[in-house]
C-alpha cells in the first residue's frame, strides 16, 4: 500500500516499493520497470489518489484490449488534445511487459 495522501508522498513510496522489487524480475521486466520508474508522468498517473487513468483502465480491462489497441486509443486521445501521451505509452508498454 502506498503511504501518504499527496502525489509526491505516494510517488516516493511507490519508487521505494519498485526499487525493492527490481531484483526479483527478469531482464526484460527490469528494463520495462526501469523505464516506467524513470517516467515522471507514468509514475504520477500510477500513484494519484483519485486516478482517472486507473478508473478508465479498470473499465478497459474488462474488454480485454490488446497492446496495439491501447496504443491506438492513446494516439487518438492525443490527437483530440489529450495530455500526457508519452507517459500513457510508457505505462501501457510497462503493463504489457
Domain ranges in the chain?
7-95
d(CA 54, CA 60): 10
Range 81-95 average pLDDT? 90
Task: Count CB neighbours of 85 within 10 A.
Answer: 14
Range 70-94 average pLDDT? 90
Measure Cα distances from 73 to 27, 29, 45, 52, 76 in Å: 28, 24, 17, 15, 5
d(CA 32, CA 38): 10
Render pLDDT for 10-62 as a digit per residue (tens, 0 to 9). 999 999 999 888 888 888 888 899 899 999 999 998 888 877 777 777 776 77
| 1-15: b (≥16 Cβ within 10 Å) or e | eeeeeebeebbeebe
Tell me the pTM.
Answer: 0.58
What is the structure's pLDDT at 38? 93
d(CA 11, CA 44): 7
pLDDT at position 90 over 90: yes
Amino acid at each position: 500500500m502506498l503511504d501518504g495522501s499527496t502525489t509526491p508522498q505516494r510517488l516516493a513510496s511507490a519508487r521505494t516499493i519498485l526499487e525493492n522489487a527490481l531484483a526479483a524480475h527478469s531482464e526484460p521486466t527490469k528494463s520495462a520497470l526501469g523505464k516506467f520508474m524513470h517516467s515522471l508522468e507514468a509514475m504520477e498517473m500510477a500513484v494519484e489518489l483519485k486516478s482517472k487513468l486507473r478508473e478508465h483502465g479498470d473499465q478497459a480491462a474488462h474488454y480485454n484490449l490488446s497492446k496495439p489497441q491501447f496504443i491506438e486509443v492513446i494516439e487518438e486521445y492525443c490527437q483530440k488534445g489529450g495530455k500526457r501521451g508519452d507517459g500513457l505509452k510508457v505505462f501501457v508498454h510497462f503493463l504489457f511487459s
